[in-house]
Every structure is written in structure tokens, then in C-alpha cells.
């Protein structure tokens, strides 16, 4: 019987690839999304 490879345990204190915390990284992603939505809305109104 073949056993599957063990999965590495997740560490609660893992750091994101850059930045200080995951919450900050998620906040930056959401802020980026909001800025893009506003910009695309302005471009749509300006060039329609």
C-alpha cells in the first residue's frame, strides 16, 4: 500500500513574501483594486 507524502504543517507565524503582515498585504491588494475601479470608471466617462 502506498502512503501519500506527508503535508508540511502550516505555521501561523508565516510571513508574506513582502510586507510586515498578511493583513497589510490584503489591504494593499484591496486598495489597488479600488483605485483601478475608480480609474477605469473615470476613463470610461471621459472617453465615451
Please list, in sequence order, all residues whose beta carbon lies within 8 angstroms of the beta carbon of residue 18, skipping any fewer than 6 positions away: 25
pLDDT at residue 29 in the model: 96
User: Which pLDDT value is given to residue 11?
Assistant: 73
- pLDDT score recorded for residue 34: 98
Half-sphere exposure of 41 (CA within 13 A, CB side): 6
Distance CA 25, CA 19 (A): 7
Environment class of 25 (CB within 10 Å of its CB; exposed 0-12, middle 13-18, buried 19+): middle
Please compute the mean of the pLDDT values over residues 28-36 and round it to a whole number: 98
Mind listing the pLDDT tens digit for each residue in 1-30?
777 777 777 777 788 988 889 999 999 999
Overall average pLDDT of the 36-48 stretch: 97
Q: Please, are residues 32 and 24 in contact by the beta-carbon 8 Å criterion? A: no
Amino acid at each position: 500500500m502506498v502512503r501519500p507524502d506527508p503535508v508540511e504543517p502550516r505555521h501561523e507565524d508565516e510571513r508574506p513574501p513582502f510586507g510586515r503582515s498578511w493583513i497589510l498585504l490584503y489591504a494593499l491588494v484591496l486598495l489597488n483594486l479600488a483605485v483601478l475601479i475608480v480609474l477605469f470608471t473615470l476613463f470610461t466617462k471621459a472617453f465615451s
